[in-house]
Amino acid sequence: AQTVTQSQPEMSVQEAETVTLSCTYDTSENNYYLFWYKQPPSRQMILVIRQEAYKQQNATENRFSVNFQKAAKSFSLKISDSQLGDTAMYFCAMGSGYALNFGKGTSLLVTP
Amino acid sequence: EAGVVQSPRYKIIEKKQPVAFWCNPISGHNTLYWYRQNLGQGPELLIRYENEEAVDDSQLPKDRFSAERLKGVDSTLKIQPAELGDSAVYLCASSFGITMAGTFGSGTRLTVV
């Protein structure tokens, strides 16, 4: 069975600062993918960043980057230069088959 | 390019009543997913379609839930009869091929009273 754990239900960061959201997972698969999704109040799940487990290099998308520690089964998301529009729920997810397993999410609030 | 379109956006029904949700995926996307998101939780897969074939419906409560995807395009998800515990957001996603990271719609928030 695959499990995804997000241990931070809520986080807050000031605008322009950096914040890191934590995620750990468990799987017996060797080939899998990891994702971070953003869900604003509109409810649409928006893909932020993805990481292939076989790649050692950490993925980066503009202000978003990950710290992927395969041995520790850890996949944290770093948001640099936080903006008010980053306020949302953030979900960590993993998939090794044909669909995703999601964590419970972290609610991020960016304050002025 | 239009995204994944879902309707209705909100639905309130009494328990034991039927309800249906509709999803129009992105044009050309042959894979379609239905997820259910309970309050305070991440989405959970209910069913996955490859074209018009349901290839993974192991998490679909088949006693009251049904789904169809005619002609491999639009899809409907039905609950009959609805129970209080069915209150949730129902999300549809689509992708071209098996990418897992499909494009999501804005979901339907169902409230059963």
Per-residue pLDDT 10s for chain B (113 aa) are: 679 999 999 999 999 999 999 999 999 999 999 999 999 999 999 999 999 999 888 899 999 999 999 888 999 999 999 999 999 999 999 988 766 678 999 999 999 99
Element (H, E) at B41: none
Q: Is the pLDDT at A107 greater than 80, yes or no? A: yes
d(CA A103, CA A99): 14
pLDDT at B97: 72
Residues of A in contact with B55 (CB under 8 A): 98
In A57-98, beta strands by DSSP E: 60-61, 64-69, 74-79, 88-95
Residue B70 DSSP symbol: G
* B67 membership: H or E segment, kind and range: strand B65-68
User: What's the pLDDT tens digit per position in A39-97?
Assistant: 998 899 999 999 999 888 999 999 999 999 999 999 999 999 999 999 999 999 998 77
Q: What is the pLDDT of residue B23?
A: 97
Other beta carbons within 10 angstroms of residue A99's beta carbon come to: 23
End-to-end CA distance of chain B: give it in Å, rounded.
Answer: 37
CB atoms within 10 A of CB A2: 16
Question: Is pLDDT of A100 > 90?
Answer: no
Residues 11-70 (A) with a CB less than 8 A from some CB of B: 33, 35, 42-47, 50
Average pLDDT over residues A8-18: 97
CA distances in angstroms from A76 to A53, A87, B84, B99, B110, listed in the order given = 14, 17, 36, 21, 32
**What does the pLDDT look like over A67-82, one tens digit per residue?**
999 999 999 999 999 9
Within 10 angstroms of residue B21's Cβ, the number of other Cβ atoms is 22
* Helices of type H across chain B: none
* pLDDT band at residue A31 under the 50/70/90 scheme: confident
Contact criterion met (CB < 8 Å) for A98 and B107 = no
Contact list in A for residue B104 (CB cut-off 8 A) is 44-46
**φ/ψ bin of B104: left (φ > 0), alpha (ψ from -120 to 50), beta (otherwise):** beta
Report pLDDT for A95. Answer: 86
How many residue pairs from chains A and B have C-beta atoms closer than 8 A? 56
pLDDT of residue A11: 97
Q: Which two tokens stand for residue A106?
A: 């972290």
Q: Does the CA dihedral A60-A21-A86-B92 come out positive or negative?
A: positive
Measure A88 CA to nearest chain B CA, in Å.
Answer: 13
Interface test with B, best of A42, A45, A91, A107 (most B CBs within 10 A): A45
For B85, phi then psi, to 5°, come to -70, -5
Contact residues, chain A, for B3 at CB < 8 Å: 44
Beta-carbon separation of A99 and B41 below 8 A: no
**For residues B69 and B32, is the Cβ–Cβ distance under 8 A?**
yes
Higher pLDDT, B98 or A5: A5
Chain A interface disruption, residue of B90, B100, B108, B111, most A CBs within 10 A: B100
Total number of residues shown for chain A: 112
Question: Would you state the structure tokens that stand for residue B75, as one six-digit string?
Answer: 């899809």
